[in-house]
Amino acid sequence: MTSQSFSRPGAVDLSDLAKRASSGQAPGSGGTSAAGGGGFVVEVTEANFDKEVVQRSLTVPVVIDFWATWCQPCKQLSPVLERLAAEYGGRFVLATIDVDKNPRLAQAAGIQSIPLVVAVVRGQLVPLFQGAIPEAQVRQYLDELLRLAASQGVTGTAQPIPGAGQAGAPPARDPRYAEADAALERGDLDGAIAAFEKLLNQNPDDQEAKRGLASARLLRRVREIPAQQARADAAAKPDDVQAQIMVADLDLAAGHVEDAFSRLVDTVRRTAGDDRDLARRHLLELYDVVGPDDERVRRSRRDLSAALF
C-alpha cells in the first residue's frame, strides 16, 4: 500500500478543490456529522472537505467511504466501517461522501464504481479497496493503513467529533426492515430476498421493500456472473439479449447506472418480439433498484418510450 498525490491525470485536483471550497466557492453544507461510529464518523461535502479530510489527515488517518443512496452494496459495507470506526476508538476517522451530492469529489477521486474506500494520510491519497468485502478483510486494510500512517509520523488519536450520532443523524430505520437489513449486513442475499418478499406479500405498495427486493436480486445475479467473459460475449453478440442483460446487471451493481440503462434501451431498440419484451421487463426491474424518483430513471423511461414507439 502506497500513498499518492490527490492530483490524478484526467481528474480534478482535490487540493485545488479544497482551497476553493474553504473560501466559500464550492457548494454544499459543512460540518454535518454522520450517525454511528462512536463519534468518529463525519459526513463530508465539497464545502468541508479541506477541514474534515485534508487538515485532519495531518494528525490521524482519514478513511473515506464513497457511497450513494441507491447503492445496495454500500448498505452492506457502510455499517461495517462505522462499527470499526467505533471499535478503533479514534485511531482513524471515517468520512462519508455521497457521490450524487458531491460529483466533483467523486470525479476528483477518479471513481469508476462504488462502494469505494480510500484513505488520506498527511494530505496524500492511499487507495484501499473497492466493493463490499468481508469485515475480516476490511480489518486487514485498516491495520495496514495504520502501519503506513505510523511510518509517516501520523500516530494521533482523534477525539469524538461533536454532534456525531446526534446532529444530522438520519431518522431511525423502520423496524419492519430489520430482518432484511440484518441479512444484507451478513451477506445473506437469499435471506434478504425472503424478508423483502414477505413484506411485499403483506403490503404490495411498500416501495422501499420493492426497491430492496430488486437490489438483493441484482446482487445475487451478479455474484454468479463471470464478468470478463460476460463483457466479451456482449461485445461480440450485440443482439443477444441475455448477454446484454448480464452486462447491464454488472454495470448497475458497479454504480454505472446510466450505462446499464442505455445498454438495455439500445437492446430494446434493436430487437423485436419476445427478445424486446425480455429486455424491456428487465430494464423495468433495474429501475426498481435505483428508485422512481431518480432523474436517471426518468430520463431512461423517456428513452425507453421513444425506443418502443
pLDDT attached to residue 173:
61
**Do 57 and 93 touch, CB atoms closer than 8 A?**
no
Examine the domain organization and report whether 115 and 208 are in the same domain: no
Give Cβ neighbours of residue 261 (< 8 Å, ≥ 6 apart). Answer: 248, 283, 286, 296, 297, 300, 303
3-state secondary structure 75-102: HHHHHHHHHHHHHCCCCCEEEEEECCCC
Examine the domain organization and report whether 134 and 215 are in the same domain: no
Cell 453544507: give the residue: 29
Q: Does residue 61 carry a catalytic annotation?
A: no
Examine the domain organization and report whether 220 and 179 are in the same domain: yes
Examine the domain organization and report whether 146 and 209 are in the same domain: no
Count how many domains the chain has. 2
* Domain assignment of residue 4, yes or no: no
pLDDT attached to residue 92:
95
pLDDT attached to residue 301:
95
Cell 430487437: give the residue: 271
* Domain assignment of residue 5, yes or no: no
**Do 46 and 102 touch, CB atoms closer than 8 A?**
yes
For residue 123, give the C-alpha cell: 494530505
CATH classification of the domain holding 288? 1.25.40
pLDDT attached to residue 63:
96
pLDDT attached to residue 20:
44
* Domain assignment of residue 165, yes or no: no
pLDDT attached to residue 222:
85
Residue 275's SS3 state is helix
For residue 195, the tally of other CB atoms under 10 A from its CB is 24
Examine the domain organization and report whether 189 and 133 are in the same domain: no
**Do 168 and 32 touch, CB atoms closer than 8 A?**
yes
Examine the domain organization and report whether 112 and 218 are in the same domain: no
Of the residues 136, 151, 166, which one is the last residue of a structural domain? Answer: 151
pLDDT attached to residue 253:
78
Examine the domain organization and report whether 207 and 277 are in the same domain: yes
Examine the domain organization and report whether 214 and 141 are in the same domain: no
**Do 65 and 81 touch, CB atoms closer than 8 A?**
yes
For residue 90, the tally of other CB atoms under 10 A from its CB is 17
pLDDT attached to residue 7:
35
Q: Catalytic one among 12, 18, 41, 71?
A: 71
**Tens digits of residue pLDDT in 83-107:** 999 999 899 999 999 998 888 888 8
Predicted TM-score (pTM) of this structure:
0.57
Give Cβ neighbours of residue 165 (< 8 Å, ≥ 6 apart). Answer: 33, 34, 35, 36, 37, 38, 39, 41
Q: Does residue 105 carry a catalytic annotation?
A: no
Examine the domain organization and report whether 106 and 190 are in the same domain: no
Q: Print the domain residue range for 122.
A: 14-151
* Domain assignment of residue 26, yes or no: yes
CATH classification of the domain holding 94? 3.40.30.10
Tens digit of pLDDT per residue, the chain (309 long)?
Answer: 544 433 333 333 445 545 544 444 433 334 434 545 558 999 999 889 988 998 899 999 999 999 988 887 888 899 999 999 999 989 999 999 999 888 888 887 777 778 899 999 988 888 999 888 888 899 999 999 999 999 888 888 888 876 554 433 444 567 888 898 888 777 788 998 999 999 999 999 998 889 889 988 988 898 888 888 999 999 999 999 999 999 999 888 777 788 999 999 999 999 999 999 999 999 999 999 888 888 889 999 999 999 998
How many angstroms separate the CA atoms of 254 and 70, rounded?
A: 11
Of the residues 151, 185, 202, which one is the last residue of a structural domain? Answer: 151
Of the residues 101, 118, 151, which one is the last residue of a structural domain? Answer: 151
Examine the domain organization and report whether 185 and 140 are in the same domain: no
**Tens digits of residue pLDDT in 181-205:** 888 777 788 998 999 999 999 999 9
* Domain assignment of residue 3, yes or no: no
* Domain assignment of residue 183, yes or no: yes
* Strand 124-130 with 41-43, pairing: unpaired
CA count, 13 A, side-chain hemisphere, 14 = 26
3-state secondary structure 135-157: HHHHHHHHHHHHHHHHHCCCCCC
Q: Catalytic one among 34, 74, 180, 286?
A: 74
* Domain assignment of residue 46, yes or no: yes
* Domain assignment of residue 135, yes or no: yes
For residue 178, the tally of other CB atoms under 10 A from its CB is 11
Examine the domain organization and report whether 111 and 147 are in the same domain: yes
pLDDT attached to residue 191:
92
Burial (CB count within 10 angstroms: exposed 0-12, middle 13-18, buried 19+), residue 301 = middle
Examine the domain organization and report whether 293 and 210 are in the same domain: yes
